[in-house]
Amino acid sequence: MFSTSIGKKLGMALTGLVLYSFLIGHLAGNLQLFFDDGGTAFNTYAEFMISNPLLVPTEFVLLGALVLHVWFAASLTRLSRQAKPQGYAVRQAVGGRSLASRTMIWSGSTILIFLVIHIRTFKFGQTGEGGLFALVADTFHQPGWAAGYVVVMTVLGFHLWHAMHSAFQTLGWHARAGWRRASILMSILIAGGFAAIPIYFFLAQ
């Protein structure tokens, strides 16, 4: 099944939705950074997550989904390039083709590189007295880090722009215009929510 073109698309959709759900959960947890309590709530939450026995299995599921998502994307992009070796001299976008939809592989690659840096900084970063909250605050007090995160979150929003309704269509659920709009709204909410964190800490120092 997963060796066919539709099977690979199914793989993209399923792993994509797993990663999408993670993003929602991740954002929900991160919103505690905005609590005006010197980071108590967020640090308690971070401690709870680190000491949770379900953390490692969940991380493996996410890593698996990520690896498969990247693998299927690479395989399908290769297929696509082979199927259309020559483009047109004049090209006019029609239908639902957008800048976001045609740059999925590039926005995805950017997020992949970002992930390595992000995990190194926050998962394996040195936390001191103030816990993870202080690490987040210190990181985003630096203009370079704050700006970099905002840029990458914009790219993430771009990636999600063509994500949800596309996944549903692949799963066999005809995603009509309303779903496409919902998908775009979700991408703005998620990317905006994440981008608000560096902006907030940079301005709050």
Residue 87 CB, nearest distance to other proteins (Å)? 7
Which stretches of the chain bind other proteins, using CB under 8 A? 1, 4-10, 76, 79-80, 82-98, 101-102, 104, 162, 165-166, 169-176
Tokens of 130: 């103030």
Q: How many other CB atoms are found less than 10 A from the CB of residue 117?
A: 13
Residue with Cβ nearer other proteins (104 or 137): 104
Please report how close the Cβ of residue 2 comes to other proteins at its closest, in angstroms.
10
Which residue's CB is nearer to other proteins, number 51 or number 82? 82
Report the distance separating Cα 53 and Cα 60, nearest Å. Answer: 13
Structure token digits, residue 128: 């001191």
* CB of 88 or CB of 124, closer to other proteins: 88
Among residues 139 and 166, whose Cβ is nearest to other proteins? Answer: 166
- Look at residues 161, 116, 2 and name the one whose alpha carbon lies nearest to residue 69: 2
Torsion sign (Cα): 49, 54, 60, 61:
negative
Tell me the closest approach of the beta carbon of residue 10 to other proteins, in angstroms: 7
CB nearer other proteins, residue 4 or residue 51: 4
* Contact assessment for residue 79 and residue 59, using Cβ atoms and an 8 Å cutoff: no
CB of 111 to other proteins, least distance (A): 17
Question: Cβ neighbours of residue 75 under 8 Å, at least 6 residues apart?
Answer: 8
> In whole angstroms, how close is the CB of 167 to other proteins at the nearest point?
9
Q: How far is CA 70 from CA 48, 77, 139, 177, 201, in A?
A: 30, 10, 28, 27, 32
Distance of closest approach, residue 1 Cβ to other proteins, in angstroms? 5
Q: Which is nearer to other proteins, 177 or 203 (CB)?
A: 177
What is the spatial distance between Cα 154 and Cα 44, in angstroms, rounded to a whole number? 29
The pair of structure tokens assigned to 188 is 């703005």
